[in-house]
Amino acid sequence: MSITPRRPLRSVLPALLLLLAAVLFAAPTASARTEAAPTATLTEVTNFGTNPSNLQMYLYVPDNVTAHPAIVVAVHYCTGSGPAMYNGTEWAQLADTYGFVVIYPSVTRSSKCFDVSSPQALKRGGGSDPVGIKSMIDWTVNTYSADTSRIYATGISSGAMMTNVLLGDYPDVFAAGAAFSGVPFGCFATTDGSEWNSACSGGTITHTPQEWGDLVRAAYPGYTGTRPRMQVWHGTEDDVLRYPNFGEEIKQWTNVLGVSQTPAATDSPVSGWTRTRYGATGDRAPVEAISLQGVGHNLYAWGMASRALAFFGLDSSGPAPQPQPGACKVTATTNAWNTGLTASLTITNTGTTAINGWQLAFTLPTGQTLTNGWGATYTPSSGTVTATNATYNGTLAPNASVSIGYQANHGGNSAAPGTFTLNGTTCSAS
Catalytic residues, by residue number, are 157
DSSP string, 34-60: PPPPPSSSEEEEE--S--TT--EEEEE
DSSP string, 184-197: -TTTT--SSS-S--
Bridge pairing between strands 359-363 and 376-379: unpaired
Output the CA torsion 8→14→17→22 (10° steps): -110
What is the distance between the alpha carbons of residues 278 and 287, in angstroms, rounded to a whole number?
5
Q: Is 160 helix (H, G, I), strand (E, B) or coil?
A: helix
Phi, psi of 312 (to 5 degrees): -65, -30
Phi, psi of 222 (to 5 degrees): 90, -5
What is the distance between the alpha carbons of residues 32 and 1, in angstroms, rounded to a whole number?
9
> Helices in 179-237 by DSSP H: which ranges?
198-201, 209-218
Q: Is 408 helix (H, G, I), strand (E, B) or coil?
A: strand
CA dist 248 → 50, 171, 184, 341 (Å): 33, 19, 6, 44
Sign of CA dihedral 32, 173, 91, 321: negative
Q: Are 264 and 285 in contact (CB under 8 A)?
A: yes
What is the distance between the alpha carbons of residues 173 and 155, in angstroms, rounded to a whole number?
16
Phi, psi of 153 (to 5 degrees): -125, 145
Beta bridge partners, 177, equal: 153, 230
Q: Are 56 and 112 in contact (CB under 8 A)?
A: no
Q: Classify residue 389 by its DSSP letter.
A: E
Which of 105, 241, 265 is CA-nearest to residue 183?
241
- 199 burial class (0-12, 13-18, 19+ CB within 10 angstroms)? exposed
Residue 252's H or E segment, with its range, is helix 244-256
